[in-house]
Chain A
Amino acid sequence: MMASSYNAKDEDGHITVSGPGGATLRSKKPENTAFKQQRLPAWQPILTAGTVLPAFFIIGLIFIPIGIGLYVTSNNIKEFEIDYTGVDMSSPCFNCSQNYSWNSTKPCTCTIPFHLDQPYESNVFMYYGLSNFYQNHRRYVKSRDDSQLNGAAGSLTEPSKECEPYAYHESKPIAPCGAIANSMFNDTLELFYNDPNGTKIQIPLNKTGIAWFTDKHVKFRNPGGNNPNLTAVFQGTTKPVNWRRPVYELDTDPENNGFINEDFIVWMRTAALPTFRKLYRIIHRKNSMVPTLPRGNYTLEVVYNYPVRSFEGSKRVILSTISWMGGKNPFLGIAYITVGSVCFFLGVVLLIIHHKYGNRNNNADISN
C-alpha cells in the first residue's frame, strides 16, 4: 500500500494540489507503437530526375492526344458572329445607336444581312453578346433581391436594401428591384432566311429552355403562388425605371412570364467577365434531313433599344452550334498540346540530367 501511494505521488510531482487517493501503478513508459515512435511506414518521395521523369513523359503522352481531341472538337463547332452596335457610319444600326434614351417610345429597328458559308447541322444556339459591360461589378452584382425573385410576398412590396437605389420608384416598390434587373437587355432579335427564290422566311426561335433548370424551377418564382393573373399579383409595384413594360407583360405565355421569364432569368445570372454572351434563343433542328440553318443568306432584324455607347461597349449576335465541351474555344486544345509538349520536353531534359548527374549520388556515396 505504501509503495503504490508513492507511485501515485511521483506521477506528477508538481505544484498541483492533488486530492488524496488515486493510487494507480502505471508505468510512464511511452507506448512503442509505430505512430508514437514516428515510425509509421511512409512513402518517401525523394524527387530526383530519375523518379520524376516517367511522370513527365506520361503527362506528355496523355495531354497531347487530349489536346488534339479538344482542338478538333472545337474546330468542328460552327460559330457566326455579327456586331450590330452601329459604331460605324456604314453600319445599318448607326442611326439607332445615336439615340441614347431608354424610354424612347418609337422603336428603332435595323436590318442586318449576312451570309452563312456552311450549313449548321445540329441545334443552333443564338446568343447576344455584350462587351465592356461589367456585369461583375461588386455593387451591380449585389443589387438584387433573391427572395423577391423567389416569390416571397414580403419582399415584393418591401425590396431588400441591397436593391437601392432601384428599390422604390415614386414611392412604389420596384418589381423586380435592383440594378441588374433594371439594366436588362431589351433588344429584340429576329432571324430571317433569305430563300434563294427571294422569299424571306422567318426562322422559328425557341425562347424557352434557355435558362438553367434550377433557376427556372427553384430559384425564380412568381409571387402569389400559382395565381395565373400576374397583373393582380404585381399590383402595387412598379416596373423598373428603364423597362418599357412591367414584368408581368414580358411574355404572353404564363409559364414564361413574370419572374420566370427565361430572358429575364438568363440576364439575372451575372456574367463572369466584362465581355460575355448570353443565350437568347435556340433554333431546334426540325429533322435529320435538313440542316437547321442551311447555307445561304440571312437577315437579322434588330429592334434597337439597348444603349451601349455610354460605356463604349458593343453588342453582338452569335449563332453557334455546341459540342460536349461547350462552345467554340480553341484555347483548351492548344493549351493541352502546349503543356503536353513542354512536359515531354522537360522529360527529355530530365532524362539527360539523370543520365549525366543521376549516378553522381552513388559515386559520392562510395567515395564517402
Chain B
Amino acid sequence: MERFHWVQHRCRQLLAGDSGWYSAPTGLHSRSSQHRDSGKRRTVFARHGPHQEDYEAVCKNFRTNAIRTNKYSLLTFIPMNLFQQFHRAANLYFLFLALLNWVPVVEAFQKEITMIPLMVVLTVIAIKDALEDYRRYLFDKKVNNSVVRVFCGTQKAFIDQCWSNVRVGDFVRLTCNDLIPADILLLYSSDPRGVCYIETANLDGETNLKQRQVVSDLPVQGGEITPQSFHSRIECENPNNDLSRFRGYIEHSSGTRVGLHSSNLLLRSCTVRNTETVVGIVIYAGHETKAMMNNTGPRYKRSKLEKQLNTDVLWCVFLLIIMCLTAAIGHGIWLKNLKDPVFQVDGETSPILAGFYTFWTMIIVLQVLIPISLYVSIEIVKLGQIFFIQNDLALYNEQLDSRIQCRALNITEDLGQIRYLFSDKTGTLTENKMVFRRCSIYGVEYPHEENGRRLEVYETEKKDAPNCSVTLKSNCSGKSLSCHSPTCNRSSVSLHTLTSESEDEDEQSSSHIQLRASSFSSRMKEVAPDPELVRKLNWFCSSVHHLSDGSSEILPSLELTYITDFFLALAICNSVVVSSPSQPRHVVPETQSPIKSLEEIKLMFQQRFSFSPLSALSTLSPAQIRGSPYNLTRRLFTRGKAGSLTFSSPSNNITDRSNLGKDSNLVPSNMKGKLKSSAKNAEQMENDDTGNDFMETETNPEEINQGEENQATQVGPIGDDELLYEAESPDEAALVHAARAYRCTLKARSAESLLVNLPGIGTLAVQLLHILPFDTNRKRMSVVVRHPLTGQLVVYTKGADSVIMDLSETPRGAEQTLEIYSQIREQTQKHLDAYAREGLRTLCFAKKVLKEEEYDMWLMSHLLAESSIENREELLLESAQRLETNLTLLGTTGIVDRLQEEVPETIEALQRAGIKVWILTGDKQETAINIAYACKLLCANDQILTANCNSMDACDVLLEELKLEVQCGEDSLTVLTETPGATSDSVNGFILVIDGRTLEWALQEELKSKFLELSCKCKAVICCRSTPLQKSKVVQLIRDHISVMTLAVGDGANDVNMIQTADVGIGIAGQEGMQAVMSSDFAITRFKHLSRLLLVHGHWCYSRLENMIFYFIYKNVMYVNLLFWYQFFCGFSGSVMINSWVLIFFNLLFTSVPPLIYGILDRDTPAETLMEVPKLYHAAQTSKAYVSYMFWITVLDAFYQSLVCFFVPYFAFAGSDAGQLSFGSPINASALLIILLHQVIESNTLTWIHMLVLVLSAGFYFGFVLLFSMYSVACSPPTSTLGVETLQMSQPLFYIICVLTTVTALIPRLFFRAVHNTWIPNLKSSQMDRVDGEKYHRRMQQWNQANRLPVCANPGLAPSVV
C-alpha cells in the first residue's frame, strides 16, 4: 500500500517537473485559508447541545469529516490531468515536436504520426493516474463509510453514523480497538482514572501505547457525558499539522477555564486500546485533522547520476543541433546548385530559407536523438531495482519481520557512490537494547560481576558453538542460557566481545508477535544482582527482626535510605507503561493485583498480625514482623531527611500514619469488587512475591536449572509475574528491569498513582503528583510523588550526569554530613568516569524532599503555565527548572548498550570499500572512543587526535597543531614504507576525536577549511557530544566542500537532521520510534545490512543504471545517424527511407524493453564476490574519469555502427532499381539486430528473461513490419509499405545484407572487449574466476534448499547447518 503511494507520488512529482510543484497537498492550503478570517482560534460548541445558535454560527467554517484525496472527478479528469502532465519537460518537448510537424514547410512525417509518442506517454500516464485516483476514491469511500457511534440530536442517543457525516462538535463514542474518526477531545473514559490508551502506529509507526487524559475539571463527573449537559465552550488553535501540540482551553458555563493540551486529544486514525468506552467531542474533522494535514508524500531527491546524465543529454542536444545545421547548410548548397530540376516541387524558395526550414524538419526527423524516453526508462528501472532491494532476503529481519523500506525511489544508484558514511552510535552501531550493567549508590560501587559475566556468556556461547546454537537455543529458555558454559570464568567484560547474539532473544521470546507488540519489553532484561547490594537490601528487609532482636548491624542507616530511595527512583522515575504478556496491551490494572493499601499494611503492622488471606502462604511468621518494619523504615527515612538519628515518638508516628492513610487512599473502592475473577491468579502472584521476598532458601524448578548460578539469581524475578514494560527510551526499561531484579518492582501505573512492590513491604501505591517529562534541553526528567513510607513530598530526578552533578548541591546541615555528601559526590564522579571509560551509558539519580508549602507554591505557578496557550513550552520549562534544584545525589547507573551483530565486520568492509566512516554521537568522549574500538573503527596502532578546546583561537591553534602532527606522521609513514621490510600492517591511521564544543568552533566559517583539511587526512572522525544540528552541519560541510556522496545512518529523532542533509539518508527502524525512518530514504533494521545494501545493491544499481544510460544513448545515436547519413543522398531534404510508423515505434516499442531488463537484471559481479571483495565498490567509484570518456567511446561506436549499417546496404543497392523503402528495409532490420546483439555483448549476465525479451523484441518488429506491409494500402502516405517487406524478405539479398551488416558492425566492440578483458585482467574478472562456476552453482542450490533457514545469509554457515 505504501509503496503504491510512493509510486503515485513519484509520478505526480514527475508530472510536476522538477519543481515539486504539485507535491504539496494544495487542496489543504486553499481550504484552510477559507476560515483564516475567523481569527487564529477556533471555537467549538457541542452540536445538539444547549448552545445551538452559537453552534450554527461557528460550524459553517468547519469542514466535515468526509475526506477526498482523489484529485479528479469524471468531468475534470481529462483537462486537469493533461494540464498536469504538460508540466513535465519531456512532454512539452514532445508537444513542441508534434506542433512543429504541423507547420507545412517543415513537416517531416504525417501530422498524426508525430503525435503518437506524445499520445502514448500521455495515455499511459493518464490511465495510471486514473487508476490510482480511482483506488484513492474507493479508499476514501471506504473510510468515509466506516461506521462510528455519534450522538444524534433527535434520538437523544448514540447511533451509528458514517465517518463522513461526523461534524465538528459531534459527540462520538468509541470502544476498544476502534479507529478514531477525527481529532476528538476526550471528555469521558470508562476508565475510572479518566485515562484512555491509544496506539499511534498509523501515524508514526510507534506501537507502544500512549496515554490520553480526560479533560480535567469537567462539571459533569461520572457517567457518560451527553451534549445536552455540555455547556462548555472550547477554544483552541486552528488546524495545524503538529502532532505533538494542541493548545486551547475549555470554558465552562461557570466561567472557569481549563487548559487543554495534546494529552486530551485523540488523533484521527489512531486506535483506542485497553479502554472500554470513551466519549469525546470532535474538534477537527476531515482534512483538518492532524493526521490528514501530516499526510505528505515521500520526498524527491535528485540522484547524482541523473545530474551527470543531464550533461550527456546536453551533448546529445549539441550533437542534434550540429547534425541539423549540417543538413540545413547542405540543403542550401545543394539547392543553390540546381536550376529548376523536374523533381523540385516548389522552385521559388531561396536556398537560405529552404535551409532554415530543413533545420526544423531535421529536428523532427532526428528527434529520438534526445533520449527523452530515457528519463521514463530510468524511472521504471529504478522501480525494478527497488523491487529487488526490497525483496532481498539478506536484508530481511526475521526477528522483526520487516524488510528494508525504500522510501526514496530515485536514488538507488547513489548507494553505489558513497564516499563518506556518518553514523550515529546509539541504536545504530549498538542495539539500543540497554542492559543494566552496574551501579554506584552512596558513593559505593557495586560492580555486578555476575551480571557482567552473564552478559559475556552470550558472546562466548555464540563463539563456542555457532553450529549447534540453533538447536540448543530452541531448547533453552532465557534463564537457563548460562548453563551452556558453566566453566566460563572470565570476570572482566571486554567490549570487543560484547557483540550481541540477537537470535538468543529471538528464540526465547515465544513468538514474534509478542516481541513486536512490546517493543522494549524484552523479558531478557533480567539483571543478575550484585551480591553485596543484595545483602544490604536484605538487611533492610530483614532488619525487622534484626532490630527487634537487638542485633543491629553496623551498616550505616543513611546508606540504607539511599539504597531504598535509589531503587524507588529507579522504579518510578520514568514514563514506563506496564502491561502483561498474557493480555497484551492491557495495563495490568489495580483490579488485578492484590493491593495492600497502606490502610491494610498499617492495620497489618499495628495489629502485629498478618493473616490476611492474601499472604496466608507467606513464610513470614507473625513473630518475625514483630519489630514493625514499618516503624523502622519510617524512622530510617525521617532520619535520612534530617540527617540525624532521631527516633520519633509513637504518638507522632500515629498521626503521621493517619495523614498518610488519607493521602494515599487512592485506590477506588469499586475495584476491590472486581477482584473476584482474578483472585486466584492474583493470590498466586502475591504468593510468589512475598514468598520470594522473604524466603531466601526457596528454590523453584527454574532455579535448580541454574545451579551454578549462585545465590544471586535467587532473588531474580521469577516466571509468572511477567510484566511487560514499554518505555519511551530503552534506558528507562533497562532501569525498571534492574530495579525489578532487586525486587523493587513497578507493577502498574495510572495517571495518579504507581503500584510499586518493595522488598519486605509488599505492594504499595505511590501517589504520583507530577511528571516533568524528559526533554533535551533539561536532559533530565523528574517525578513528584508522595513517598509511600514517609508521606513526604519527594522529587526524584533522573538525568545526564553532567546536569545532575551540577544541580545536586550539598545540603545544609551538620559538618559531618557535609563531609559525607562531598565524599559521595567525589566517589560517584570517579565511578562515572570509570563507567564512561568502560563504554557504559551513565545516568544519575537524585532526590529532593519538598515542604508542603514549597510544593503548593510551585504547583500554583505550574498550573498557570500549563493552562496558558502562548509560550506554554517555555513556561513549563522554566517551571520544571524551578523545581529541580538543590538535589541530593543518590547514585548513578551504568548501562551497557551492546553492539549490534556484525558491526565490526560491516565497518571493516565499508572501510575497505573506500568509505570513510565517521561517528557522530551525543555521547561522552570516552564512551564514543570505546565503542569505536569495539566496532574496530579504531585499531590498536591508530593514533588518536583529541580536539577539545574552549575558544575559537584555541581551536584554531589546535587544528594547526593537529595538522602538523598528521603531517609528521605521514612523513614518517612514507619513510617507513620506503624502507624495505616495512609491512603495511604497521601503518598507523589517524583518528580525530572532537567534542561538540570544539566542533562548534571548527564549523565556523574561518576554521572550516582547516577542519576539513585535517579531517580528510584522518582515517576516521569521531564527533562526540554533538547536537543534532551539528551533526547535520558536519554532513553538509563534507557534502558541499568535498562534493562527494555522503550517507547518514541513524535511528533516533536526533539523527533526523543529519539524515535529511546527507545525499542518502538511512534510518534504522529500532527502538526509538519512527522519526528517523520517516525522514530517511531507506530504512533498515540492522546496521549490518548496510554492507549488503551498499556493496551489493549500491554497486549493482550504479553499474546497471550507468550501463543502461550508455546503452540508451548508444541506441539513439546509432539509429538516428542512419537517417542522418541518408540525408547526404537525398539532397539534405529531410527525407527518410524508413516507414514513419516503424521509425516512431522503433524506440517506443521495438527496442524499449531490452534496456529496461538490462537495467534491472544485469549483474556485473556476483553478490558473493562483491561482499568478499569490498574493493570492487571503490573501483566502481573511481571509474568516474572513465565515465566521461566512455560517453564518447559509446558515441563513436554508435557512429561506426551506423556507418556500417547504412553504407553496406548503400553499396549493395547503389545504382540498382531499389525503391526508397526497399532500401530502408534491410537497414532497419539490421539496425534492430545490431542494437539487440550489442546488448548481448554488453550484458554481464544473460538469463532466460533476457533471452525471451530479446527474442520477443525482434519477433515483434518483424511481425509488425510484415503485417504492416501486407495490409497498409494507403494508410501511410507517402511511405506506404505495401508489399515492400514481404518482397524484401523473400529475397536472399535481404539476409545477405543483414548478416554482413550485423557482423561488421559488432566485430570491433566484440574484439576490443575481448582484448580489454584479456589484456587488462581487472580485479573484477579475476575475482569472478575465483568464484568459479561450479562452486557458484552448488552454493545456489544450497540457497534454494535452505530457504527456511534464517542464517543462510551467511554462506559459510548454511552448509554446516544443513
Contacts and interface: CB of A to CB of B under 8 A. Distances in A.
B202 A15 contact: yes
B1296 A50 contact: no
A212 to B, nearest CB: 5
B344 interface: yes
A208 interface: no
Interface string B1317-1340: 111010001101110000001001
B1135 A141 contact: yes
Interface in A337-366: 339, 342-343, 346, 350, 353-354, 357-358, 360-362, 364-365
A358 B1318 contact: yes
A365 B1283 contact: no
Contacts of A162: 1277-1278
A331 B201 contact: no
Contacts of A56: 1307, 1311
A41 B1246 CA distance: 8
A87 interface: no
A146 B1278 contact: yes
Nearest to A146: B1274
Contacts of B361: 138
Contacts of A70: 1296
21 contacts: A6-B584, A13-B202, A13-B205, A14-B205, A15-B291, A17-B269, A28-B403, A29-B398, A31-B391, A38-B1163, A40-B1161, A47-B1317, A52-B1314, A55-B1310, A137-B344, A139-B346, A273-B1215, A276-B1217, A279-B1217, A342-B1307, A358-B1318
Nearest to B1210: A273
Interface stretch (A106-114, A115-123, A126-134, A168-176): A126-134
A286 interface: no
Nearest to B1312: A47
Given A3-B517, A311-B342, A365-B1326, A144 B1277 contact: yes
A3 B584 contact: yes
Interface string B386-406: 001011110010100111000
A79 B1315 CA distance: 45
A368 interface: yes
A179 to B, nearest CB: 5
A332 B1297 contact: yes
B842 interface: no
B402 A28 contact: yes
A143 interface: yes
Interface stretch (B703-711, B788-796, B805-813, B1219-1227): B1219-1227
Contacts of B1: 12, 16, 18
B585 interface: yes
A335 B2 contact: no
Given A3-B513, A17-B202, A310-B341, A141 B1278 contact: yes
Contact of A138 (B1133, B1212, B1326): B1133
Contacts of A138: 108, 361, 1130, 1133-1135
Contacts of B860: none
B1218 A272 contact: yes
A275 B390 contact: no
Given A9-B207, A15-B203, A327-B1216, A332 B1133 contact: no
A43 B1131 contact: no
Nearest to A340: B1303
A32 B146 contact: no
Nearest to A52: B1314
Interface stretch (B966-974, B981-989, B1054-1062, B1287-1295): B1287-1295
B1329 A362 contact: yes
Nearest to A339: B1304
A63 interface: yes
A66 to B, nearest CB: 8
A139 B1217 contact: no
A299 interface: no
B295 interface: yes
B585 A2 contact: yes
A337 to B, nearest CB: 11
B396 A278 contact: no
B1189 interface: no
Nearest to B1279: A141
A214 interface: yes
A39 B1161 CA distance: 10
B1318 A49 contact: yes
Interface stretch (B81-89, B1023-1031, B1237-1245): B1237-1245
B1343 interface: yes
Interface string B1196-1229: 0000000000001011111111111011100000
B1300 A271 contact: no
Nearest to A274: B1129
Contacts of B319: none
Given A6-B584, A10-B516, A218-B1283, A19 B143 contact: yes
A324 B1325 CA distance: 47
B1273 A310 contact: no
A329 to B, nearest CB: 6
Given A18-B269, A353-B1319, A46 B1328 contact: yes
A182 B343 CA distance: 9
A331 B1212 contact: yes
A45 interface: yes
A110 B338 CA distance: 27
A179 B583 CA distance: 91
A331 to B, nearest CB: 4
Contacts of A47: 1241, 1310, 1313-1314, 1317
B343 A39 contact: no
Contacts of B1303: 59, 63, 339, 343
A215 B177 CA distance: 77
Contacts, number: 359
B294, B346, B1130, B1133: residue with the most chain A Cβ atoms closer than 10 Å: B1130
Interface string A144-160: 11110010000000001
A303 B388 CA distance: 75
Contacts of B1340: 34, 39, 41
B1326 A332 contact: no
B1216 A45 contact: no
A338 to B, nearest CB: 9
A51 B1314 contact: yes
Contact of A275 (B344, B1215, B1304): B1215
Interface string A228-248: 000000000000001000000
B507 interface: no
Contacts of B1307: 56, 59, 339, 342-343, 346
Interface in B1057-1100: 1074, 1078
Given A31-B391, A47-B1313, A339 B1292 contact: no
A147 B1275 CA distance: 9
A335 B1211 contact: yes
A218 B246 CA distance: 80
B1283 A214 contact: yes
Given A6-B517, A307-B342, A14 B1217 contact: no
Nearest to B298: A14
B884 interface: no
Across the A-B interface, give the 9 residue pairs with the lowest CB-CB distance, nearest first: A214-B1283, A272-B1223, A311-B341, A13-B205, A32-B1347, A42-B1245, A52-B1314, A138-B1133, A138-B1135
A70 B1292 CA distance: 11
B345 A179 contact: yes
A326 B1223 CA distance: 14
Contact of A9 (B201, B338, B1246): B201
A272 B1138 CA distance: 11
B1321 A20 contact: no
Nearest to B67: A17
A49 B513 contact: no
B1183 interface: no
Contacts of B202: 9, 13-18
A310 B342 contact: yes
Given A32-B1344, A45-B1243, A277-B1215, A17 B268 contact: yes
